[in-house]
Structure 1
Amino acid sequence: MVRWLLVLALLLPGVAAATAQEGDRIRLDGKEFWLQTEPLEEWIKAQGWRPPEAAMISSSNWRGYIAEWTVEEGQLVLVDAWIRVRGRSEEFSMQQQSIREDLFPAMPRVVADWYSGAILIPDGELVDYVHLGYGSTFDHYQLLIVEHGRVVEYLSLDRAAFEAYREERFAAFSRSAAFAEVWTRFGDQDWTDEEKLDFIRAFYAEQYLSYREENP
């Protein structure tokens, strides 16, 4: 575990991944679910956005924000994004503060056209709790494959079907130039090949779950 946390610090700066993470939310067919992937993070990093000093950062939310999503007309749409700040009425209270206008000023509708990847949505019972990142497993999932903000495929999978799908996609991804690029990030880290593969399988799900060999 110590080795994993040290490498996380090197490869993913700022990640307090020793704690299970609070995911984004998505509303589908009138129900709210949480995500095990982060569609806004690529845009956040590209813009250089940082949580303001007033934001309360916790070990269960190292990103400092929560985004809320929906699917409209086949597109992934950002409903809101917010941070937690200290409340004024009580010493230890917290309240939500929207940052949507800060991120996307004067945009009444925000389609996630920057995002291509997999939206992984646990919608079943918890099977195995893992106190690390999004490592917990469930007995059912919804999976949305997104290309430049448009949902191009929807899958509803029980745990066995999801695990089979994940292994198939990971095997295809491991033969790609994109995988080779990820592999080089480990540099001279003193890891076995098996440890490297386990890490990529755990932290690059958005890339390989949506990978298609005809579109490397």
Structure 2
Amino acid sequence: MKFLKVFFAFLASVSSFATGQVPDYLIIEKDTLAIQSNPLEGYFKDHPIPEKLITNLSSANWRGYVAYFKFIDGKFVVENIYKEDYKENSNGKTDYFLTSIYKDVFGTNVTFECNYYSGLLICPSGKIVQT
């Protein structure tokens, strides 16, 4: 029993050092909402992102991309997908920016439909009560 108490105390301390992940986003009219799911993960299991396309990974984005979704005519589609890039500026600091990789991933398909996705799209709102 003492082992379990120590083990759970260890888990609690480790989780406090975890980095929150950059979300994907859902665009609804003029609102852009963070979603707590990654709808493209299932697609990428069968259709991997082209090798060497994702060049930078951060502890806040293990998947290497940020996707934006929207509904068009009742269909759930990818609006755009970006990779994270970093560049040192003239002050020696690192600038972060997003570069679209839509054409590299989906080719000329201008409205890639996520018809394979059947999960929830949870968009949390309100103030954070625990960090």
Counterpart-to-counterpart distance in 2, 1:54 and 1:20: 20
Alignment of 1:20-99 (within 5 A): 20-49=20-49, 52=52, 55-87=55-87, 89-90=89-90, 91=92, 92-99=94-101
CA contact (8 A) 1:80 1:98 kept: yes
Q: TM-score, normalised by structure 2?
A: 0.76
Query: Structure 2 counterpart of 1:39, which letter?
Result: P
Q: Which has the higher contact order (CA 8 A, sep 6+)?
A: 2
Choose between structure 1 and 2: higher helix proportion: 1
Aligned match of 2:106: 104
Q: TM-score, normalised by structure 1?
A: 0.48
Equivalents in 1 of 2:85, 2:119: separation in Å?
Answer: 31
Q: Give the corresponding residue for 1:184.
A: none
Give the whole-Å Cα distance in 2 for the aligned partners of 1:110 and 1:29: 19
In structure 2, the CA distance between the partners of 1:60 and 1:129, relative to structure 1 (3 Å rule), is farther
Distance 1:54-1:109 versus aligned 2 partners, 3 A rule: closer
- Provide the aligned length of Structure 1 versus Structure 2: 118
Percent of residue pairs bearing the same amino acid type: 23
Separation in 1, partners of 2:121, 2:54: 30
Give a deviation string over 1:143-195, Cα, whole Å, max 9, x none: xxxxxxxxxxxxxxxxxxxxxxxxxxxxxxxxxxxxxxxxxxxxxxxxxxxxx
1:114 matches 2:116: yes
* Alignment correspondent of 2:5: none
For 1:129 and 1:57, the matched residues in 2 are separated by 26
Instruction: For residue 54 of structure 1, report the CA deviation from its aligned partner.
Output: 5.9
Is the contact made by 1:51 and 1:64 (CA closer than 8 Å) also made in structure 2? no
**Structure 2: gaps spanning 5 or more residues:** 1-7
Displacement of 1:22 in angstroms is 1.2
